[in-house]
Amino acid sequence: MASIRKRKDTYQITVSLGYDIYGKKILETTTFVPDHTLTPKQQEKAAIAFAYEFEAKIKNGYAMDGRKITLKEFSERWVTEYAQSHLQPGTVQKYKEELNDKILPALGHLKLSAIKPHTLLSFYNSMLKDGVRKDGKSGGYSAATIRKTHNVLSSLLRSAVEWEVIEQNPCDKVKPPSAPDISENIKFFTPEQAVRFLDYLRKPYSCKISAHKRTDDTGKEYSVGDYTVQKETPLQIQILLELAIYSGCRKAELLALTWSDIGFDTDTISVSKAVTVIDGKPIIKTPKTKSSFRKISIPHSLILRLKKLQVSQAEYRLRVGEYWKGGEWVFTQEDGTMMNYSTPYHTLQNIIKRYNQESPKELTLPLIPFHGLRHTAASLLIASNQDIKTVSARMGHSQTSTTLNIYTHSLEAGDRKASDALEAMLKKQA
């Protein structure tokens, strides 16, 4: 209950709203002037009624008043009251990480109304300075990273405007550092490199086993010297990497595939879900956009290899019995559960490194991330003169402009080839 203090002919009403980040008590105070034609008893009752009304108004309005609520307080309400019910779990997780790692430590204590364009400009400039990174890397954050921070903050404050907490979004008046062209940052295999990589996947490779000790059947220990064995890349790893190139699917989409998604009779795969990792646990989600729901044609030869993998998986499942804990995932761990989210990346890196160790310098492959196989797929399609609408549909892009922006390099290469072809044709006619 609000406190009421009589002062001569008026009443002072005080409402406590807890403590700020510095431990100082937050108080809201007003003055009530009673009708002096009333009896003292009636004036007191009127003051009490006013105090109840004032307290309710303050406590209900305080949390949504840009002059009084901090960015940290608002972000907490925004996450619970909006983000968790309107956004994908993976997106919510990324927003929370961005808030907790970068935004709130710098701006969380500020009232929303105190966040001005120049405040944000100073914040973004500070992110460019050496020593601000929490990952221990030298230098400041990249322009691309700062733009991501800006987008999260802008989304948050946009909601504050829509909820009439503040009048305008300061992010609208600030330009974060320019990020380089997306197409300049992507890593992928050229057609020639992709051919060498796919060929290498199916070839046995030599693996050196270092000297070590063993124990025989009698329990006696003996030493074994260095020796070399021939190994093969596991079939499911081969297929995972081949499918990434042939389909252009995202890692999250590939790992979420079940056997019912494989069109053995139609030579297709159906993409209707993806996996995201939240607090270390895999969560199945629906794709972000309608265009991400798609059916992709793949080579019949790859369908036959998928069938071989399915049969092999079923036989293994029968052998291990109750050890099998998974469902119908195409790509699994040993116990049948979904393949670990980090496995595709690390496996690809190891295969490329091994290939480069065995190959002449002029034939080495770039050390691309797993997402680079998706970029490879799109680049190969464009290089084979597929129209941009078809490429965009296979990639699951909602707009062809996205495809155009990302794969400028391939389009420029195609344009150069077109120019050379036109020149050659005209020279023949001359």
Q: What is the DSSP string of 97-113?
A: HHIIIIIHHHHTTSBGG
Would you state the pLDDT for residue 279? 79
**Highest mean pLDDT of the ranges 13-22, 121-130, 233-242, 281-290:** 233-242
Would you state the pLDDT for residue 363? 94
* Percent residues over pLDDT 90 in the chain: 50
- How large is the average pLDDT for residues 339-356? 96
Distance CA(86)–CA(14), nearest Å, equals 38
Contact assessment for residue 381 and residue 394, using Cβ atoms and an 8 Å cutoff: yes
pLDDT digits (tens, 9 = 90+) for 146-177: 999 999 999 999 999 988 888 899 999 998 88
Whether residue 117 is predicted with pLDDT greater than 90 in this model: the reply is yes
Whether residue 219 is predicted with pLDDT greater than 70 in this model: the reply is yes
Q: Comparing 164 with 414, which gets the higher pLDDT?
A: 164
Would you state the pLDDT for residue 134? 78
Q: Comparing 320 with 2, which gets the higher pLDDT?
A: 320
Q: Comparing 26 with 231, which gets the higher pLDDT?
A: 231
pLDDT digits (tens, 9 = 90+) for 27-67: 778 889 988 889 989 999 999 988 888 887 776 655 457 78
Whether residue 72 is predicted with pLDDT greater than 90 in this model: the reply is yes
pLDDT, the chain, mean: 87
Reference 30, options 56, 4, 9, 8; nearest CA is: 4
Residue 222 burial by Cβ neighbours in a 10 Å radius (0-12, 13-18, 19+):
exposed
Domain 191-214+221-370 has CATH 1.10.443: yes
DSSP 129: S
- How large is the average pLDDT for residues 374-394? 89
Whether residue 428 is predicted with pLDDT greater than 50 in this model: the reply is yes
Would you state the pLDDT for residue 355? 96
Determine the CATH number of domain 71-180: 1.10.150.130
- How large is the average pLDDT for residues 417-425? 58
DSSP 262: E
Q: Comparing 148 with 181, which gets the higher pLDDT?
A: 148
- How large is the average pLDDT for residues 242-261? 96
Residue 290 burial by Cβ neighbours in a 10 Å radius (0-12, 13-18, 19+):
exposed
Would you state the pLDDT for residue 429? 59
Whether residue 414 is predicted with pLDDT greater than 90 in this model: the reply is no
User: What is the C-alpha end-to-end distance of the chain, expressed in Å?
Assistant: 96
- How large is the average pLDDT for residues 93-122? 94
Tokens of 86: 């309107």
H-type alpha helices, 164-299: 182-185, 191-201, 235-247, 251-255
Q: Which helix (H) or strand (E) holds 159?
A: helix 143-162
Confidence of residue 255 (pLDDT cuts 50, 70, 90): very high
Domain boundaries, given as residue ranges, for the chain:
3-62, 71-180, 191-214+221-370
